[in-house]
Amino acid sequence: MPKTLCKELKKHGNSAQKLVFMLRLKIPKRMSSKFYQRDTSVWIYRAAIVDGMTLYEQDGVFIHINVNTHTSDKNAHLPGKIYLLQKPEGTFVEWKAEELVSVDSHSEQDWAMISSVGYQPDRGSDTANDQRNERKRYNVSFDVLDLKSFKRSAPNHGWAYIIFILKDGTTYPAVHFHNGGSKALLKQLEKFVHIRRSPTDSRLFIVQDQDPQALSMSFDELNLFQDTQGDLVTKFMKDPYTATMGGFSKVTNFLRDVLMQEDPKSPVEKIKDIIHEDIPGMEINTKEEPGYELVSKTKLPSRPEVKRGDPLTSQQWSKHMDKEGRIINIDEVKDQIFRGGIEHALRVDIWKFLLGTYEWDSTFASRVVTRKRKLDDYFRMKLQWTTIRVEQEKRFSTYRDRKTLIEKDVTRTDRTHKFFEGEGNPNLQVLNDILLTYCMYNFDLGYVQGMSDLLSPILVVMENEVDAFWCFAGFMERVCDNFQMSQEGMKTQLSQIHKLMQYTDPELCNYLESHDSGNFYFCFRWILILFKREFSFTDAMRLWEVIWTDRPCKNFHLLICLAILDTEKTTLMENKFGLTEILKHINDMSMAIHLEETLMKAEGIYLQLKNAKHLPDNVKEILGFPTSSPSSSGSAPSSGKTTPVNADIRASPIPSRSNTPVSVPLTTVGYGKGASARYQPVNTSENGQKSSSNGLSGDESIEILPDSSFSSFSNYS
């Protein structure tokens, strides 16, 4: 009988047909536990759930691809359905994008499909496949027994949402219930797991660990007492203490062996694996570092509320410029940029000031001269690598290795962004050329993986090869220490995060230290490319321009790290996450961090430290505050003045680097077809000796004839 029913069920293709067949057999849709007691019914039930029995289903459930995007942007909301499914292997929560649900239910149809969200291209088209693959990234599927906790939205948030967090640290994007139904799903979940609310965070719910199979195992199955029943009774009568405690000791050994097995991978190896997944080829130095300095716990002042402002507008920008083009009230401009960022249309102009391409006090006329000089400088450096022949390249391993690495990275940098998408996109070649030219500009550093991430948004804003190069060069002056082969710059900043957290949140700091995370390597990606992978393109640009103002203090990006960790503190500690789970959770937070909230919290932490009494000198040094021993600091202290809303938030400017390349005046311009580039380095050092810059040799005159392929250079003048 069971085999016959299974064969009949297999004849019906999809779940709907199987359900109809079951109804004809008068089998109830919802099966009670008593249903398992009937052998025939068990076989019918198991056959019926080959594709999963739906215990709960809700449509109108969206994943917001970018949590910081305004709700009116429909492209940022991915529609789908959420299910609670009973499968042979367990009970699963699943969310599928609406287009994928439609495709799955019509998998045998080759014609174009019409769904509730609009026309879908034919399945065979590249566009349809790309869209489908993109949406599959966001699919959610997990066994409810793997659920560690979940977060719910605040009551006044608007659309209710749930964030599911698994035991291994996997954190899924929030699922937003636009049509309601979140409470119904949680009620269904309560049938399978025990849930308690976190005592420290009303939005966090912890799933109590349980293993019904293990709890049902008898002492006989665990082999706690090897004696026969008669011998055990005799031993218990003679010495009840020894007999009882002997059994308990076996329980202890069982729990120790099963539940406390050590992971064969060391903490450093786990960190290396995560970082390699984020930035292939990137390695970390695993050499042990000296111990951290002890910082005594001091109660900080209460954290003040901070408000953000609106972006700088074109009208406001023009008011800060005199008739000759000089920027007046520079501090006021930077303060407003720090408070609210810049309107996108203005970035192409203002970023050149923030990144040092133009001086703030330059005039319209002087900027024309500067740009002409930088145009010549750029193409002169570009000629240095474009004229390298195959025979030369064979004998130039450093250049060859950097070129190969750049080509590899460019092909996978922001390819989902419309500016770089598609095969044969000319913008990819521009990205490649700028990075190779930077190798000529900075021979010592060259190219390190991660730099393409920093250049990409700049090129999108500038839409010009020369302007993008010089802005990128200015950006690299700020973060070049991140890319040192020794990784001393990265280690220093991670150590500084540790020192700051020791003072601002010793509880979380102690927790991380006790869970093999005191080195803060899980922040590696944040610092290396300045949160580029944590936010969308638009939000990353907003964050960068805020940081470029050098407000309200030195190393403000480290306070941003503290702000993010402060937000996740309850999740990490209540879930009792270890190193592996912390790494996984932090990695899954990408695109799920609220930018404005994080910036407000970071500035609030800054104000706490600024107003704190007896701030340790090492903390003052990190933030650029005046110290009791000024000579101990390697840079000029910051004034550190700020207020929560509309006050002076300026900090001392970052001192210029002594190794900043000196511009080389050129004798000719014009790069049309067949033109030649002649230049005469005339740089002199302070002691009057001749010196070269930008990787040039000390020859008094150099002449390089470009190929005819450079006729397009004039497009950038």
Which of 104-118, 119-133, 444-458 tops mean pLDDT? 444-458
pLDDT given at position 251: 43
Torsion of CA 217, 218, 224, 229, to 10 degrees: -160
pLDDT given at position 282: 52
CA distance to 35, 281, 300, 566, 716, per residue, from 607 (Å): 63, 39, 10, 15, 45
| Amino acid at site 217 | M
Sign of CA dihedral 260, 264, 269, 271: negative
pLDDT given at position 620: 95
pLDDT given at position 102: 45
pLDDT given at position 324: 95
CA distance to 159, 310, 370, 604, 643, per residue, from 307 (Å): 24, 10, 38, 10, 10
Q: What is the pLDDT of residues 424-435, one digit of tens each?
A: 899 999 999 999
> In the structure, what pLDDT confidence band is assigned to residue 208 with cuts at 50, 70 and 90?
confident
CA distance to 46, 81, 143, per residue, from 89 (Å): 11, 21, 9
pLDDT given at position 297: 53
Among 490-499, 613-622, 655-664, 699-708, the minimum mean pLDDT is found in: 699-708
pLDDT given at position 708: 37
pLDDT at 713 exceeding the cut of 70: no
Question: Residue 331: how many CA atoms within 13 Å on its side-chain side?
Answer: 12
Residue 374's CB is within 10 A of a number of other CB atoms, namely: 18
pLDDT at 247 exceeding the cut of 80: no
pLDDT at 390 exceeding the cut of 70: yes
Q: What is the pLDDT of residues 447-486, one digit of tens each?
A: 999 999 999 999 999 999 999 999 999 999 999 999 999 9
For the chain, the average pLDDT equals 74
Give CA 358 to chain center in angstroms. 31
> In the structure, what pLDDT confidence band is assigned to residue 238 with cuts at 50, 70 and 90?
low
State percent of the chain over pLDDT 70. Answer: 61
Give the SS3 label for residue 195.
Answer: strand
Mark 39-65 as b/e (b = at least 16 C-beta within 10 Å).
eebebbbebbbeebbbbeebebbbbbb
pLDDT at 581 exceeding the cut of 50: yes
pLDDT at 194 exceeding the cut of 80: yes
Q: Give the chain's end-to-end CA distance (angstroms, integer).
A: 83
Tokens representing 404 are: 């190969």
DSSP annotation of 31 reads P
pLDDT given at position 274: 53
Identify whether the C-beta of residue 300 lies closer than 8 Å to the C-beta of residue 608: yes
CA distance to 10, 19, 104, 132, 675, per residue, from 109 (Å): 20, 21, 10, 16, 59
**Is residue 259 exposed (0-12), middle (13-18) or buried (19+ Cβ within 10 Å)?**
exposed
pLDDT given at position 630: 53
Please tell me the total number of residues recorded for the chain in this structure: 717
> In the structure, what pLDDT confidence band is assigned to residue 625 with cuts at 50, 70 and 90?
very high
Q: CA-to-CA distance for 439 and 511, rounded, in angstroms?
A: 42
Mark 336-373 as b/e (b = at least 16 C-beta within 10 Å).
bbbbbbbbeebbeebbbbbbbbbeeebbeeebeebbee
> In the structure, what pLDDT confidence band is assigned to residue 178 with cuts at 50, 70 and 90?
confident
Among 89-103, 215-229, 323-337, the minimum mean pLDDT is found in: 215-229
Identify whether the C-beta of residue 410 lies closer than 8 Å to the C-beta of residue 453: no
pLDDT given at position 338: 98
DSSP annotation of 38 reads S
Long-range CB contact pairs, 23-30, < 8 A, 24+:
30/55
Tokens representing 52 are: 């999963």
pLDDT given at position 668: 32
pLDDT given at position 13: 47
Give the SS3 label for residue 612.
Answer: coil
Question: If we measure between CA atoms, which residue out of 285, 272, 271 comes closest to residue 578?
Answer: 271
| Amino acid at site 252 | T
75 phi/psi in degrees, rounded to 5: -70, -20
Which of 412-421, 470-479, 635-644 tops mean pLDDT? 470-479
> In the structure, what pLDDT confidence band is assigned to residue 32 with cuts at 50, 70 and 90?
very low
Q: What is the pLDDT of residues 42-70, one digit of tens each?
A: 444 444 444 568 888 888 888 887 666 54
Strand-pairing partners, residue 163, are 151
pLDDT at 624 exceeding the cut of 80: yes
CA distance to 34, 68, 156, 397, 542, per residue, from 538 (Å): 55, 9, 26, 38, 6
CA distance to 303, 333, 559, 610, 630, per residue, from 620 (Å): 18, 26, 13, 9, 10
> In the structure, what pLDDT confidence band is assigned to residue 670 with cuts at 50, 70 and 90?
very low
Give the SS3 label for residue 147.
Answer: strand
pLDDT given at position 450: 94
> In the structure, what pLDDT confidence band is assigned to residue 180 with cuts at 50, 70 and 90?
confident
Tokens representing 678 are: 């002649």
Question: If we measure between CA atoms, which residue out of 518, 543, 88 comes closest to residue 311?
Answer: 543
Max CA separation in the chain (angstroms) = 107
* Average pLDDT value for residue range 177-192: 87
* Average pLDDT value for residue range 628-642: 46
Tokens representing 94 are: 């699943």
pLDDT given at position 491: 95
pLDDT at 179 exceeding the cut of 50: yes
Q: CA-to-CA distance for 346 and 605, rounded, in angstroms?
A: 30
Q: CA-to-CA distance for 500 and 620, rounded, in angstroms?
A: 10
Q: Please, where are the H alpha helices in 575-689?
A: 579-588, 595-611, 617-623
CA distance to 159, 170, 186, 569, 580, per residue, from 154 (Å): 9, 22, 16, 17, 29
pLDDT given at position 60: 86
Identify whether the C-beta of residue 164 lies closer than 8 Å to the C-beta of residue 207: no
Mark 530-560 as b/e (b = at least 16 C-beta within 10 Å).
bbbbbbbbebbbbbbbbbbbbbbbbbbbbbb
Q: What is the pLDDT of residues 136-171, one digit of tens each?
A: 667 889 998 989 888 888 877 678 889 899 988 888
Q: CA-to-CA distance for 250 and 256, rounded, in angstroms?
A: 10
DSSP annotation of 566 reads H
The crossing angle, in degrees rounded to 10, of helices 98-105 and 126-136 is 120
Q: CA-to-CA distance for 612 and 504, rounded, in angstroms?
A: 10
Mark 432-446 as b/e (b = at least 16 C-beta within 10 Å).
bbbbbbbbbbbeebb
* Average pLDDT value for residue range 590-602: 95
pLDDT given at position 133: 57
Q: What is the pLDDT of residues 289-344, one digit of tens each?
A: 444 444 445 688 999 999 999 999 999 999 999 999 999 999 999 999 999 999 99
Q: CA-to-CA distance for 498 and 505, rounded, in angstroms?
A: 10
Q: What is the pLDDT of residues 269-294, one digit of tens each?
A: 555 555 555 555 555 555 544 444 44
CA distance to 230, 264, 274, 326, 400, per residue, from 578 (Å): 46, 14, 14, 54, 42
